[in-house]
């Protein structure tokens, strides 16, 4: 098995018009490692995540995810872009499920339509993934019949159905009521324990503390500080990080 990092980012920059959002982000991430990105709103966390699967194109810097190199300033051609989206699965704050399809059908969609998986195999895979996220008994429910936490777990199962090498999660618990966040946290922590590589943008410090091997604090378009959850949450080194953590705990 390859020992090279799964993700390598060096000097990633991004701006929208005159507004500089990312000023040079570096990240080297190994397989099986979970990284949490925290920081104030508008500091570039979600933009960075979107650059990693080319929902946005970065303006400068070197980016490699698995065997794919992402060129600065241009979008990958269609087939390669599809490979990237399969390699780096995305889970959003809003669940983006097909409202007219059941949980099972939502999870089956990618394998059937993108991977060409036979119907019987896609059905078995989807049932297995719904069981993995604790929703075997909701397989034939439509999104409107599910709670927010259940919908987010379906969205996680849908991303896993594409057999990604890494999951990119953008605020996966922020749209949920407090009592529903814990069920999503539990699913993600189990995935991490099983060796799933993840990058999660979050304001949910409980999730970051439980899930992450490493926490990156973004501020003003740069990684202002990084460390283990214990280091970041009990002994942050910079005033900016300490102030942010004080505010989110208040």
pTM, entire model: 0.94
For the cut 70, the answer to whether the pLDDT of residue 250 exceeds it is no
Phi-psi group of 134: left, alpha or beta (phi > 0 → left; psi -120 to 50 → alpha; rest → beta): left
Cα–Cα distance measured from residue 229 to residue 213, given in angstroms and rounded to the nearest whole number: 7
Residue recorded with tokens 């539990």: 186
Tokens of 237: 């080194």
- The tens digit of pLDDT for each residue in 48-99 reads 999 999 999 999 999 999 999 999 999 999 899 999 999 999 999 888 899 9
- The tens digit of pLDDT for each residue in 154-163 reads 999 999 999 9
- Could you tell me the strand order of the sheet in which 88-91 lies? 88-91, 166-170, 197-201, 34-38, 214-219, 222-227
- The tens digit of pLDDT for each residue in 143-199 reads 999 999 999 999 999 999 999 999 999 999 988 988 889 999 999 999 999 999 999
Contact yes or no for 91/184 (Cβ under 8 A): no
The alpha carbon dihedral of 113, 119, 125, 126 has a sign of: positive
Residue 172 has what DSSP assignment? Answer: T
Q: Which helix (H) or strand (E) holds 110?
A: helix 103-113
Domains identified in the chain and CATH numbers:
7-93+166-249 (3.40.50.300)
For the cut 70, the answer to whether the pLDDT of residue 1 exceeds it is no
- The angle subtended at Cα 49 by Cα 231 and Cα 27, nearest 5°, is 50
3-state secondary structure of 202: coil
């Amino acid at each position: 098995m390859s020992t090279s990092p799964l993700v390598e980012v060096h000097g990633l920059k991004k701006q929208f018009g005159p507004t500089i959002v990312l000023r040079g982000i570096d990240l080297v991430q190994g397989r099986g490692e979970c990284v949490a990105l925290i920081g104030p709103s508008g500091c570039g966390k979600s933009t960075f995540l979107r650059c990693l699967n080319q929902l946005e194109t970065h303006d400068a810097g070197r980016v490699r995810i698995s065997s794919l190199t992402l060129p600065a300033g241009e979008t990958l051609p269609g087939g390669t872009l599809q490979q990237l989206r399969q390699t780096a699965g995305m889970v959003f704050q809003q669940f983006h499920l097909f409202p007219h399809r059941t949980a099972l059908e939502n999870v089956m969609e990618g394998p059937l339509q993108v991977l060409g998986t036979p119907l019987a195999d896609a059905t078995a895979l989807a049932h297995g993934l719904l069981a993995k996220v604790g929703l075997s008994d909701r397989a034939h429910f439509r999104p409107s019949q599910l709670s927010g936490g259940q919908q987010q777990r379906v969205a996680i199962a849908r991303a896993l159905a594409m057999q990604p090498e890494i999951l990119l999660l953008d605020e996966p618990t922020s749209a949920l009521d407090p009592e529903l966040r814990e069920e999503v946290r539990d699913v993600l922590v189990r995935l991490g324990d099983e060796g799933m590589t993840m990058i999660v943008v979050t304001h949910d410090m409980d999730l970051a503390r439980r899930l992450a091997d490493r926490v990156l604090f973004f501020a003003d378009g740069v990684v202002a500080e990084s460390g283990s959850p214990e280091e970041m949450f009990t002994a942050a080194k910079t005033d900016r990080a300490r102030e942010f953590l004080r505010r989110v705990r208040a």
